[in-house]
Amino acid sequence: MKPNETFATCLDCADGRTKEPILAWARKNIGVQWVDLLTRAGMDGSLLSGLHPVIVEDLRNQLGILLDKHQSKHILVSGHCECAGNPVSKEMHRVCIRQVCQMLRSWNLPEGVEVIGLLVNEAWEVERITY
15 near Zn ion (CB under 5 A): yes
Full DSSP string of 73-109: -EEEEEEETT-SSS---HHHHHHHHHHHHHHHHTS-P
| Cα→Cα distances 94→55, 117, 121, Å | 23, 8, 10
Of 10, 13, 32, 97, which lies in the binding site for Zn ion, with binding defined by CB under 5 A?
Answer: 13
Indicate the residue among 74 and 80 with the shorter CB distance to Zn ion: 80
Stretch that binds Zn ion, among 5-13, 27-35, 94-102, 105-113 (CB under 5 A): 5-13
**Which residue number, 13 or 47, has a Cβ lying nearer to Zn ion?**
13
For residue 105, report the phi and psi dihedrals to the nearest 5 degrees.
Answer: -65, -20
64/85 with CB nearer Zn ion: 85
Residue 44 found at the interface with Zn ion (CB under 5 A): no
100 part of the interface to Zn ion, by CB under 5 A: no
The single-letter DSSP state of residue 70 is T
